Every structure is written in structure tokens, then in C-alpha cells.
A and B are shown apart, each in its own frame.
Chain A
Amino acid sequence: MATGSQRRRIITSALILAGLAVAFYITFIVMAVTRA
């Protein structure tokens, strides 16, 4: 079972990765809109 600091690391890294995924999704649509 994860300790407190380990749990914080797990949640932070999961959120960063999820944020990256959302950022990639938005980036590609914006690139298509602007035809960059």
C-alpha cells in the first residue's frame, strides 16, 4: 500500500500525463484549424 508521499507522487504524475494527453488533443485540432 502506498505511503502518503508515494501517493502524492502517483497522483501528480498521473495528472501531468493526463494533462499531456489533453494538450496533444487540443494542439492537433488547433493546428488543423490554423493550418499550421
Chain B
Amino acid sequence: MSDTTTHAGAHDEHHDTPKGIMRWLTTTNHKDIGTLYLLFALLMFFVGGSMALVIRLELFQPGLQYVNPEFFNQMTTMHALIMIFGAVMPAFVGLANWMIPLQIGAPDMALPRMNNFSFWILPFAFTLLLSTLFMASGAPAGGWTLYPPLVQQTGDSLPFVILAIHLMGISSIMGAINVIVTIMNMRAPGMTLLKMPLFAWTWLITAYLLIAVMPVLAGAVTMLLTDQFFGTTFFHAAGGGDPVMFQHIFWFFGHPEVYIMILPAFGIVSEIIPTFARKPLFGYDAMVYATASIAFLSFIVWAHHMFTVGMPLAGQLFFMFATMLIAVPTGVKVFNWTATMWRGAMTFETPMLFAIAFLFLFTIGGFSGLMLAIVPADYQYHDSYFVVAHFHYVLVPGAVFAIMAGVYYWLPKWTGHMYDETLGKIHFWLSVIGVNVTFFPQHFLGLAGMPRRIPDYATQFTNFNMMSSVGAFIFGLSQLMFVYIIFKAIRGGAKATAQVWDAPQGLEWTVPSPAPHHTFDEAPQVK
């Protein structure tokens, strides 16, 4: 009885939603919080992107033109931290907030107040991080990996960076707890785990990864802090510590982090390809098991980031073979997406274009990853532009393209309007050309011996650097179109139907477009 009373009271309260800024500050609605996350990620995408353009501007030709080397290194470090923790991760959390309750037939996330808190930590964390740019000692400049002893030259801004990282970690862990608890407890009747949409599945596994590794990063940076200010010597050789131990701890976090940024992308692509191929996903169960296998393997491959530190041969062999093993479940996925398209009645709307580009270009990034896994070859590639090319192929046409595909796919459900398809296609082609012109030449630069994280280079590298910089500006500027397309769809456009696309699968397409503020107050029955 008391439950019923609480239910009715809470229900009325929802209709008394505050207006204006208070609505956004105090919201506990998963759709509002999803929107906040996505807008924040978009803002950070431009902040981090403008740092990338500073880097590419300086590297357009050899010699030092625009920035000094210290500031250049601050840009590479901050670009990475902002894109990883401020753009890609919050974008995926935003998509999870919007779509997971809709996909599993839940009325909201399980812990809505914590949901609000985990978002509102982020603006503070990033204000703290960005404020270091204006401090006397400058922003961190030792790379996003924060290796000691180099990072300990940062000076007085280091504790600000470490506190910011702690806040981002707390936010991520709370978001992950919310996803797991929602999926495990609030699925609609009849929605067994193996009937769940793949986006929800990949996020469930990602959330476990987050809970396992964000505390490890927190531990590592706490130890950096005590080494710097409280006289400990975890990573100081002079005091009996070991700087290589930091690398082990960092990459025990860092490698699963890579999968945190790609598994939800796999989920999005697995939603989009069946819709536009008009066929069910090929090998659904295999896709779920492949995702779980990738997550498991991500914990036993960390030292492939540090083959050159001088580890025993047995260690190198173990990490080399374990890394190569990841190609098996990843290959399962690539073949299943391809098999889904096989003999499908395909159409090529913007989400599908981004999903297909993801399939091709992520695979290129995967293959260069296999090359890097080979120990003797890695001794040549290590810390070169080949590595930069590799992980940007995985992260930009991989994670970022999947996010864009997801935004185009679900935007009509969020706004109730179709986006401008012509502009969407122009945005796609400019992005795909820009990305390849930027990052493909970087493979050649790396193979020719250009080291990463340098503001100046030998003249023999000039041509490919010029190409790369031109591509970066094409890609960067074309993202202004993305913003225009999104806001144009928010303001108006052709009305979207509930289904939006031609017979898509999933509960999210059973609610009207735009999705009402409250959905599934009565749980739907899933057959």
C-alpha cells in the first residue's frame, strides 16, 4: 500500500517540473540528463578539437612558427585528456542515458538523483582541468599517460589535474553503476538478457570495465600526488620506487579504457546496420559473446603498450599473443556486420554511411594494432607517428563516427524532426575525406621515423605533415556542419513518425517522436 502512495506522490511531483535553468540543474529525468551529457560532449569535442588544430597548425611545416614547445606539449596532453574523458566517454554516457531505458522498457534510470550528480560533476572537473592552462606552471605537458618522473615537472598545477581526474573517475563510476543496476533490475517483463538490444549489451559490459579500472587510475594518480607532495617514493627510483610500476598500473587501466571507448560504438553500429540492411543482425549471440571476450582479454594485454621498457621475453611473448587473440572476437564482429548486410535491401542514409565508414576504417585501425602487437616490429614503431595514426583510426572513424552515426540515427526520436539528409551526407563525405587525409599519411611518417609529441621535425617529413594538417582543418571545420544540422533538427523540420526508419527493431521505436518526457510508466510486454 505504501508503495502505491509513494508512486502516486512521485508521479504528481514529476508534472511539477521546474522551468529554465533549474530544470537542467535539478533534473532526474534520463532524457534530460542524456541531453546534458551529449551537449557537454559536443562542447568538449570542439575544445579538444581546437587544441588538435593548434597542433596541426604548428606541424604544417618544419621549424617553430606559432607556439613554443612547452605549450605544444600542453596541447597534446590536454587534447587527449579532453577528447577521452570530456568528449568520447560523456557522449557514450549521454547515448546510454537516452537510449537504455527506452530500449529495455524502463521508465527511467534506476538511480536518477545519482545520475544528475554524475553529470554535474563533469563541468567542475573540466573547469579545473582547463584552468591549469592559465596557471604559472602551465597545463600538464607530459602526455595524457602522465608518466613519472616527466609529469612531475608539471609543478603546482599537477594537483588540479589529479583532482580533475578523480572527479571524472567518480562521475564515470557512478554512471556505470547506474547502467548496470538499471539493466539488471528494470528490464521490461519478457526482456531476457539475450533479447536485449546490442547497444544495451555492449554498455552493460562497458560499465563493468569502468568499475574495474577507473579506481585503478585513481590509485595511480593518488600515488603520483603523494610522491609529489608527501614524500612517498612509489615511482622514484632514488627512494627505492619504480617508474615502470606506474606504467604497469596506468596501462592496467589504460587498455580496458580503449575498449570502454569502442564497445558502445560496436553496440551502436550493431543497431544501425540491421535497420538499413532491413535484416536482423547476423549472429546476435556470437556478438554478445564476442563483446564479453574482448572485455575479458582487455585485462590481460596491458603491457603491449610498454614492450620497450625491457621486460622478460616470456612477458613479451605472453602480451604479444594475448593481444593478437583480440583479433578473433573482433573479427567475429566485423564478419557478422558484413553478413548482416549481405543480400540486404540496403539504403544509405547518413547513419548507415557513418556505420559503413566505421566498419572499413575501424578495421584499418585494428590491423595497424595487430602490427603494433608484434614485439620486434613494435620496437621500430614505438612512440612514432605510426602509433598516432593507429589510435586515431580507432578513435576518430571508430568511436567518433559511431557516436555521429548514433546521433543521426536517434536524433528524430529525440527531437521529433528529421534532420536535413542532404546536409548530413555532405557532413559525412567531408568528415570521411578529412579523417583519411589527416591520419593516413601519419602511418608513412611513423614508418619513416617521425617521433610523436614533437613540435618540430626534419624536413623530409614536410609533405605528409602538410597533407595531414590540411585534412585536419577539413575535418575540424566540417564539424561545424554537424552542429548546424543538430540545431536545425531541434528547431524544426519534417515531422518524424514513431518508427522513424523503415521497420527498425526495438522498443524505442514504439514510443512517439519526440519521445515524451516520461515513457514506459507501464512496463511493456516483450514477446
Contact = CB atoms under 8 A, between A and B. Distances in A.
Interface of A: 1-4, 6, 9-10, 13-14, 17-18, 20-26, 28-29, 32-33, 35
Nearest to B210: A21
Contact of B185 (A1, A9, A23): A9
A25 B212 CA distance: 9
B239 to A, nearest CB: 13
A1 B10 contact: yes
A21 B3 contact: no
Interface stretch (B155-163, B216-224, B372-380): B216-224
A21 B252 CA distance: 15
A3 B216 contact: no
B111 A10 contact: yes
Contacts of A10: 110-111, 181, 185-186
Interface in B177-218: 177-178, 180-181, 184-186, 211-216, 218
Interface in B1-32: 2-3, 6-7, 10-11
A24 B216 contact: yes
Contact of B177 (A4, A17, A26): A17
Given A1-B6, A29-B223, A32-B234, A18 B177 contact: yes
Contact of A17 (B180, B218, B245): B180
B249 interface: yes
A32 B520 CA distance: 48
B222 A29 contact: yes
B99 to A, nearest CB: 20
Contacts of B216: 24-25, 28
Contacts of A23: 215
B107 interface: yes
B2 to A, nearest CB: 8
B173 interface: yes
Contacts of A35: 242, 245
Interface of B: 2-3, 6-7, 10-11, 107, 110-111, 114, 173, 176-178, 180-181, 184-186, 211-216, 218-220, 222-223, 234, 242, 245, 249, 252, 521
A24 B213 CA distance: 8
Contacts of B222: 29
Given A24-B216, A28-B220, A1 B7 contact: yes
B219 A28 contact: yes
Given A17-B177, A17-B180, A28 B11 contact: no
A28 B248 CA distance: 11
Given A10-B186, A17-B181, A25-B215, 4 more contacts: A10-B185, A17-B180, A17-B211, A24-B211
B173 A21 contact: yes
A9 B173 CA distance: 19
Contact of A3 (B3, B212, B521): B3
B110 A21 contact: no
Interface pairs A-B: 8 shortest CB-CB: A25-B215, A28-B219, A24-B215, A1-B7, A17-B177, A10-B110, A29-B219, A21-B215
A3 B186 CA distance: 11
A32 B245 contact: yes
Nearest to B110: A10
Nearest to A24: B215
A4 B4 CA distance: 10
A6 B180 contact: no
A22 B211 CA distance: 9
Contacts of A20: 211-212
B249 to A, nearest CB: 6
Nearest to A33: B234
A4 B3 contact: yes
A32 to B, nearest CB: 5
Contacts of A32: 219, 223, 234, 245, 249
A29 B217 CA distance: 10
Nearest to A28: B219
Of B177, B180, B234, B249, most buried by chain A (CB within 10 Å of CB) is B177
A13 B204 CA distance: 14
A3 to B, nearest CB: 5
Contacts of B2: 4
Contact of B107 (A1, A13, A26, A28): A1
A9 B186 CA distance: 10
B185 A25 contact: no
Contacts of B180: 13, 17
Contacts of A18: 173, 177
29 contacts: A1-B3, A1-B6, A1-B7, A1-B107, A1-B521, A2-B110, A2-B185, A4-B2, A6-B185, A6-B186, A9-B185, A10-B185, A13-B180, A13-B181, A13-B184, A14-B110, A14-B114, A14-B177, A17-B180, A17-B181, A17-B211, A21-B177, A21-B211, A24-B215, A28-B216, A28-B249, A29-B223, A32-B223, A32-B234
